[in-house]
Amino acid sequence: MFEPLAKCNVCKKEYTSMHVEVMPGTIVHVCQNCLEKAKTNFIWICMSCGKAYMRPKETVISRLRDPELKRAYMICEDMVIVQGIDACIECDPETIQAYMGSIQTAAHC
Ligand SMILES: [Zn+2]
Ligand SMILES: [Zn+2]
């Protein structure tokens, strides 16, 4: 279901027609403000409850231990990244550790 104008999935305040594909086939709406923030933050959106999480890219990258992963994220540093996740810390605390601790490879880059 795709709506041309919908509430921003990240801040849930602005109505916007801008959207990004966070997973193959999954489109979320992201307003201008949040897209700006996505330049310096990684944004994850929980596909179960719809909660959005933001983490500064610098912090995320500096915590990565895996050099390969780190390199992949450095490449993505200047890009706008909004990722969909299956569950968030509130839905499934264990799964989220896997996502945010040693985040999946950045497939969108
Ligand atoms: Zn927004
Ligand atoms: Zn959730």
pTM of the model: 0.75
> For 72-87, what is each residue's pLDDT tens digit?
888 877 777 898 988 8
Looking at residue 97, the DSSP 8-state letter turns out to be I
Between the CA of 91 and the centroid of ligand 1 the distance, in Å, is 22
How buried is residue 44: exposed, middle or buried, by Cβ count under 10 Å (0-12/13-18/19+)?
buried
Rounded to whole angstroms, how far apart are CA atoms 2 and 89?
27
Taking the centre of ligand 1 as the mean of its atom positions, its distance from the CA of residue 100, in whole angstroms, is 21
Residue-by-residue DSSP string for 31-78: -HHHHHHTTTEEEEEETTT--EEEEEHHHHHHH---HHHHHHHHHHTT
Q: 36 C-alpha to center of ligand 2: Å?
A: 23
**Cβ count within 10 A of residue 50:** 11
pLDDT digits (tens, 9 = 90+) for 34-67: 999 998 998 999 999 999 999 998 888 888 888 9
